[in-house]
Structure 1
Amino acid sequence: MTVRPTVVLIGPPGAGKSTVGAHLAQTLGTEFVDTDALVEQTDGRTISDIFVEDGEPAFRRMEADAVARALDGAGVVALGGGAPMQPSVAELLSGHHVVFLDVSISDASGRIGFDASRPLLAVNPRATWTRLMNERRPTYESLASVRIDTAGCTPEQVVEQVNAWFARES
């Protein structure tokens, strides 16, 4: 029997995937895996350093490997914002409970501050975030089992929404 994650969280930077994922895993009594953290742990460098030293294609390969490993276990998995854009990752998500955590730019900027730790947002962060979100939204929506708007919500409120949806689906 194949073990599958309980819930996979996708969405843009600032949607709350890591924070909500940790809270959700705790409420469900299961493990939490953040694939960005898994990449950093495996490689021993920050994502920013990987981007600068090896480039985005190298990071995306590492990211796809991390997603495959994370999806091989049980629990809650949070994917980096760009991970679902890779066809190999999108294919891996088939059959999983995928939750698209949606967010507006105003909420996202308040949560993450658009700092240097997010290499794709280093130059003109608001315009870049908006462009990336416009490009990524159709993919997020097509892969998601459900879309949850996190705007103005606390992590606990988002967890309540995910739990309510998950209870209906299970």
Structure 2
Amino acid sequence: MKDGKSIVLIGMPGVGKSTIGVILAKEIGYQFLDADLLIQEQEGMLLKDIIATKGHDGFLAVENQVNREVNAKHSVIATGGSAVYCEEAMLHYKDTCQIIYLRCPYEILSKRLGDLKGRGVALKDGQTLLDLFEERSVLYEKYADLIIDEGDKGIEETLEILKEKLS
């Protein structure tokens, strides 16, 4: 915010990237972009249908391409949870934006999330939510400029912490 850089929100499905992103953008006068919606718009189908049609790797290729081409100024960008597998996209964001990892404990996430496939979550065959959580947490931490621990905080409390750390 100080330097006008865009803000990229990363984290597991269900941490509130889109919900918090929309409110944060309004409160700081930025645009809001949802990378999952950009992917759906480009492909003309829902995330779960892209995954069903193109497979896990095909979906990640599309996600990488869409995210690496985002050139938004003064924006809050919510990525899909799997964006951290897209190295080109993440390096692009690292160069041009401030990356914030919304971290939530597994126990809370597992209660929040219902049907992962219905949410359009890119799972490999046989992969569980815990497997996904452990695999991605390392990547989220690798790319994050700032980590916000949500714990059992609500959206308002998480937003206040986020705004305080950004100012």
Give the letter for the 1:130 counterpart. L
CA distance in 1, matches of 2:157, 2:136: 25
Per-residue CA shift, 1:119-169, capped at 9, x if unaligned?
A: 445987xx71211121111211121111111121221211111111110xx
Distance 1:71 1:149, change over 3 A: farther
Displacement after TM superposition at 1:5 (Å) = 4.7
User: 1:70 is paired with a residue of what secondary structure?
Assistant: coil
CA distance in 1, matches of 2:33, 2:105: 24
- Aligned pairs for 1:9-158 (under 5 A) are 9-95=9-95, 96-115=97-116, 116-120=118-122, 128-158=128-158
User: 2:160 is paired with a residue of what secondary structure?
Assistant: helix
Count of residues in correspondence between the two structures = 163
Supply the RMSD in Å over aligned alpha carbons: 2.3
TM-score by length of 2: 0.86
Per-residue CA shift, 1:84-125, capped at 9, x if unaligned?
A: 12221221122321110011223223333234223445987x
- Specify every segment of 5 or more residues in structure 2 that has no aligned partner in the other structure, as ranges: none
CA distance in 2, matches of 1:5, 1:46: 30
CA distance in 1, matches of 2:4, 2:17: 18
User: 2:156 is paired with a residue of what secondary structure?
Assistant: helix
CA distance in 2, matches of 1:109, 1:122: 18
User: 1:99 is paired with a residue of what secondary structure?
Assistant: strand
Q: % of aligned pairs identical?
A: 28
Per-residue CA shift, 1:48-98, capped at 9, x if unaligned?
A: 001111212221122112212334433000111111122212211223211
Q: Which residue of 2 aligns with 1:165?
A: 165
TM-score by length of 1: 0.84
CA distance in 2, matches of 1:61, 1:121: 14
Per-residue CA shift, 1:15-55, capped at 9, x if unaligned?
A: 11111111111111111111111111221100100111121
Distance 1:114 1:153, change over 3 A: farther
User: 1:97 is paired with a residue of what secondary structure?
Assistant: strand
CA distance in 2, matches of 1:68, 1:48: 21
- Specify every segment of 5 or more residues in structure 1 that has no aligned partner in the other structure, as ranges: none
CA distance in 2, matches of 1:13, 1:123: 18
Shifted more, 49-58 versus 4-13: the winner is 4-13
